[in-house]
Amino acid sequence: MTTINYINQTVLITGASSGIGRVFAQTLAARGAHLLLLARSGAALDSLAAELSRRHGIRAHALVADLSLPGAARDAHAQACALGMPPDVLVNNAGFATHGRFENIDLARQASEVTVNCTALMELTHCALPHMLAQGRGAIINVASTAALQPDPYMAVYGASKAFVLAFSEALWAENRRRGVRVLALCPGATDTAFFDVVAAPEAAVGRRMAPQAVVDAALRALDQGRSSHVAGRQNRLLAWLPRLLPRETVLGIVENMLRPGQA
């Protein structure tokens, strides 16, 4: 596999206003990519777009969208095309988690979790892929999680949604690896972002938190290598072997104990 040259390539990044998405934007702008930055927070996106345009001499545009709303992903892709910037590279990073006993978590919130983590990701991929195939080149990074590697008690919907992302991405890797389009499922573990502040559950952070830059660098290396999936961080890769080595019920018992809410 050859190293991807991002100069003058258009990259669409969801969840770009903070965390891993923001670092993807900063890193790829430094490599010469033009950016479409998608999130709900318009002010933060406008500020980031202006900063990266000024610093790196690239085009950067904010696409304000709430991916939990029906049709938002398709509308965002239409905006990109209207700007004359159909994405050559897509980074589906937007996502969130809920934590607690399944029946106690608001159902609408969990339905939105599935929409953002799965449906919007699938729709943006479906919209972006034909342009990449027509060019004979392109790349898609779908941010899954180490939560995808086994069921996750007290984060049942989140873990299931990320298992979808992993299986979906690996299937598309197999479909498109001979057609010039690379597809990678990125599986970070706990990362030093505001993710766990939103979840409001520190027990959901398993292991030492990685720096977002280390996660992004690992993702781009794995993409260059033509990998179908990548677990970021050596400690996380070691933990990823547990479901293969132990009986499934044993793994579930371990994970249930790790993720159990303080008041459960």
249 noted as active-site residue: no
| Total Cβ atoms within 10 A of residue 111 | 13
List 162, 182, 227, 230, catalytic entry: 162
User: Over the Cα atoms of the chain, what is R_g?
Assistant: 18
List 154, 158, 168, 173, catalytic entry: 158
Rounded CA separation 231/219 (Å) = 9
Residue whose token pair is 């399944």: 102
Rounded CA separation 63/75 (Å) = 10
158 noted as active-site residue: yes
- The pair phi, psi for residue 91, each rounded to 5°, is -115, 100
Helix (H) or strand (E) holding 248: helix 248-259
Task: Identify which of 24, 45, 37, 20 has the alpha carbon closest to the alpha carbon of residue 193.
Answer: 20
Cα–Cα distances in Å, from 116 out to 40, 83, 124, 157, 220? 12, 24, 11, 12, 23
Tokens of 218: 């690992």
Please identify every residue annotated as catalytic: 158, 162
